[in-house]
Structure 1
Amino acid sequence: MAFGKSKTSYLLIAPITGFLIFLVALPLGIDIVYSLSKVTFETLRSPSLTGLGNFLAVLQDGAFWRAMGFSLRFALFASLAEILLGLFLAIFLGPLLAKRPWLMAPLMLPMMLAPALVGLMYRLVLQEFVGVIPYYFVLFTGDSPAFLDPGNAFTTLVTIEVLQWTPFALLILHSAYQAVPLDIKEAAAIDGAGYFRLLRWIELPYMAPTIAITFFFRFIDSFRVFDNVYVLTGSGSGGSTTTISIYIYEAFFRGSNIGVAVAASLILLVLSYGVVAGLLKLAERRA
């Protein structure tokens, strides 16, 4: 009887196991082979093993670390701004959205657009000679900053990322704000807690796990950004706006250094796993 149950269990998990092997384990194995080989588009089927040379080349490449630093700064600033702005909107618009939930639909429109399309749109809007925003800057102030030059590109890219993805933070944080138990808020109000004390000691502590998870998701998504940055500025002047995804893309398609590109991807995978494991360990310790 026990054998029958065990056999049924194996049969039930067989499809998802095969799916994971086919879509995760097999490509990962191929990537490991390529990362240890000298391989180009002409030698994809017959790579020549060279050992850890690709990993050493990536770790010794200053462009890789500059791209890593840019991606970290971009993800940190963008995700922090999205969380703070989304939290403010969730609290400020909470009463209105509770009475008229349909208003959430138009607020979600920016994140429904493809990032590449958003990048193309802002590239036209911010274009120095024909863009709408530079035109009105010149009209009202007599001058306009070059929004996509090396000095302003980082701020511009972060702002565009925040404008597109703050609705994601708003959606999740609004749900968390509405889920705060009403009886606890009423009890605190009866005890004399004002609006800000209620927010500080009741609502924000209840929302803290959701805020942390939302920040984590947005940080990961912003760290691996590619589409809108590539459309707006590419790798930038002197590589000033090269994200880690753009670095891997250029090594793979422009430099035909497939082994180096795959090695960089695996290094990024290991570093990301270390960050996730550290955060989970910290969460368990705090719990």
Structure 2
Amino acid sequence: MAKKYKLENAVLASPTALFLLVILGFPVVLSLVYGFSETSFETLRSPEFSGLKNLREVTTDDTFWQAAWFSFRFGSITAILECALGLALAVYLAPLINKYGWIVAVLIIPMIVAPAMMGLMYRLVLNEFAGPIPYYLYSWLGWSPAFLSPQNVFTTVVLAETFQWTPFAFLLFLTAYRSIPQEMREAATVDGTRPWRLFWKLELPLMMPTVFVAVFIRFIDGFRIFDNIYTLVGAGPGGSTTSMSIYVYETFLRRGEIGKSMAAAILLFAAAFILLSFAQWAMRRAFR
């Protein structure tokens, strides 16, 4: 009987699995072909195999390593900030949300806006010459910050990303916080446990699997960042905000180096795969 159910499940799932294999597998195979070939827009139909030439060009390109370092820094900092703020909001607003459900709807508004539109909005409001925020800061405080200057642009894009995606972490943590049995809190309160100790000793340990997943998801999303940064500042002053995704885009469409861009995409995919494998191993080890 069990074998029969397994066979039925496999038959039912096979169309979806085949569809995903075609949709996801074709670009991957094409990237591998072009990544190891000497090709351009004129020779897409007949790429010439070039071995590891493209990979060597990418790994010896200082701009690539600058983009990799930016992506790692950006992903790490935004993941930590978003999860810390999301956790704080979930814990402190949970009692209020039980009474006023509209608070959740208000908090998730930034997450609903398309990242590209968010980038364009920040580009307008932070403009040094015409943006309302620099204007009012100068009018009220006499302070005229250049948010998109080489010195400040990294902080600006980090804060913009954090503002948009903190609600995502907040929703995850709010769900995890509400799933903690109330009886456990009541028992700890009867024993005289203070609120801060209740959080550190009971609530946070129970929420750690969710914290781990949220940090990992936000890191991966920040690591492959493209749309909101590109619409906000492009590659940034002197390439200071060039992420790995932007590097692939610029190499492919701006310079027409298809083989090199596909080699960079392969390295980006490999980095994401290694990070995913490490995260799965760490989760099994920590929460088994």
TM-score by length of 1: 0.95
SS at match of 1:130: coil
Change over 3 Å in CA distance of 1:188–1:4 after alignment to 2: closer
Aligned partners of 2:92, 2:10: CA distance in 1, in Å?
Answer: 51
Identity of aligned residues (%): 45
| 1:119-144 per-position Cα deviation (integer Å, ceiling 9, x unaligned) | 11111101111111111111122231
Ranges in structure 1 where 5+ consecutive residues have no aligned partner? none
Cα distance, 1:9 vs structure 2: 5.2
2:217 is aligned to: 217
Aligned partners of 1:148, 1:3: CA distance in 2, in Å?
Answer: 61
| 1:217-242 per-position Cα deviation (integer Å, ceiling 9, x unaligned) | 11111111111111111112221111
1:182 is aligned to: 182
1:40 is aligned to: 40
Aligned partners of 2:274, 2:175: CA distance in 1, in Å?
Answer: 30
1:283 is aligned to: 283
Alignment of 1:1-287 (within 5 A): 8=8, 10-286=10-286, 287=288
TM-score by length of 2: 0.95
Aligned residues: 287
Aligned partners of 2:280, 2:21: CA distance in 1, in Å?
Answer: 25
Root-mean-square deviation over aligned CA pairs: 1.7
| 1:30-67 per-position Cα deviation (integer Å, ceiling 9, x unaligned) | 11111110111111111111111011111111100100
| 1:230-258 per-position Cα deviation (integer Å, ceiling 9, x unaligned) | 11111122211111111000000001111
SS at match of 1:26: helix
Aligned partners of 2:5, 2:202: CA distance in 1, in Å?
Answer: 48
Cα distance, 1:284 vs structure 2: 1.8
Aligned partners of 1:82, 1:64: CA distance in 2, in Å?
Answer: 26
Aligned partners of 1:2, 1:197: CA distance in 2, in Å?
Answer: 48
SS at match of 2:169: helix
Aligned partners of 2:184, 2:9: CA distance in 1, in Å?
Answer: 44
AA matched with 1:274: I
> 2:37 touches 2:259 (CA, 8 Å); kept in 1?
yes
Over 4 Å off, 4+ runs? 1-10
AA matched with 2:175: S
AA matched with 2:225: V
Aligned partners of 1:219, 1:44: CA distance in 2, in Å?
Answer: 34
Ranges in structure 2 where 5+ consecutive residues have no aligned partner? none
> 2:216 touches 2:279 (CA, 8 Å); kept in 1?
no
AA matched with 1:78: T
Change over 3 Å in CA distance of 1:129–1:5 after alignment to 2: closer
SS at match of 1:281: helix
SS at match of 1:93: helix
AA matched with 1:142: G
Aligned partners of 1:211, 1:6: CA distance in 2, in Å?
Answer: 34
Cα distance, 1:264 vs structure 2: 0.6
Aligned partners of 1:283, 1:14: CA distance in 2, in Å?
Answer: 29
Higher mean alpha-carbon deviation, 266-275 vs 61-70, is at 266-275
Aligned partners of 1:3, 1:207: CA distance in 2, in Å?
Answer: 37
Cα distance, 1:28 vs structure 2: 1.4
